[in-house]
A and B are shown apart, each in its own frame.
Chain A
Amino acid sequence: ETGVTQTPRHLVMGMTNKKSLKCEQHLGHNAMYWYKQSAKKPLELMFVYSLEERVENNSVPSRFSPECPNSSHLFLHLHTLQPEDSALYLCASSQERRYSYEQYFGPGTRLTVT
């Protein structure tokens, strides 16, 4: 238990669906991250939020839309996804305001797009 929880743990969705992934951290951290983990690119940074401000958007397609309403919660809104978006989506948090080597990861959401 790292203090970072993610829901749901598994999600199957069609290409026309809209769904959201949720992440919550109980560590009092200031920064939160979304990563995509797949066989092709094992740990690919998608977004970084620092004090609820997005500070990094790593050329991610617009069908992925992040939201950070406060420093404890992070969402990833999904719409019109493609099968190649099937992957494990990991959330992480860190103490530092922006980028830190010590990141605490949640267990991930396993997403399958059919």
Chain B
Amino acid sequence: GDSVVQTEGQVLPSEGDSLIVNCSYETTQYPSLFWYVQYPGEGPQLHLKAMKANDKGRNKGFEAMYRKETTSFHLEKDSVQESDSAVYFCAPYNAGNMLTFGGGTRLMVKP
């Protein structure tokens, strides 16, 4: 089955710092790749997506590049804000199968 490994636990940058949250996936097919975000008190929501190799997903200043050669989809932002504090889930998807969510990375931005 599909599997995904992302940066574990918490990340604690200060406001204005740059951010990288790592995501590596393993699937038997050629997946589409997604990041979901879960803000406090809410359910997860789709944050950004890349449907094929070399696509770059973008949303609210975040970016992630679909790198097939390294099977990675790292989430990056140049300058984080306190309002970005949330839990982020990397999720590869193959058509006809379930979404596979990573273990989640809690981002807590210090003001």
Residues of A within 8 A of B (CB): 2, 4, 42-43, 45, 48, 56, 90-92, 98-99, 101-108
Contacts and interface: CB of A to CB of B under 8 A. Distances in A.
Contacts, number: 47
Given A101-B32, A107-B41, A45 B98 contact: yes
B66 interface: no
Interface in B70-111: 87, 89, 91, 93, 96-99, 101-104
B69 interface: no
B104 to A, nearest CB: 4
A101 B43 contact: no
Contacts of A42: 87, 89, 101-104
> For chain B, which range describes its interface: under 10, 10 to 19, 20 to 34, or 35 or more residues?
20 to 34
Contacts of B49: 101
B63 to A, nearest CB: 19
Contacts of B97: 99
Interface of B: 32, 34, 41-46, 49, 87, 89, 91, 93, 96-99, 101-104
Given A99-B97, A101-B34, A43 B89 contact: yes
A42 B99 CA distance: 13
A43 B34 contact: no
B43 A108 contact: yes
A4 B96 CA distance: 23
A99 B89 contact: no
A90 B43 contact: yes
Contacts of A92: 43
A42 B36 CA distance: 13
9 contacts: A43-B44, A43-B101, A45-B98, A99-B98, A101-B91, A103-B46, A104-B45, A105-B45, A106-B43
Interface pairs A-B: 9 shortest CB-CB: A105-B43, A43-B101, A101-B93, A42-B104, A105-B44, A90-B43, A106-B43, A42-B103, A107-B43
A48 B99 CA distance: 12
Contact of A99 (B45, B99, B103, B104): B99
Contacts of B87: 42
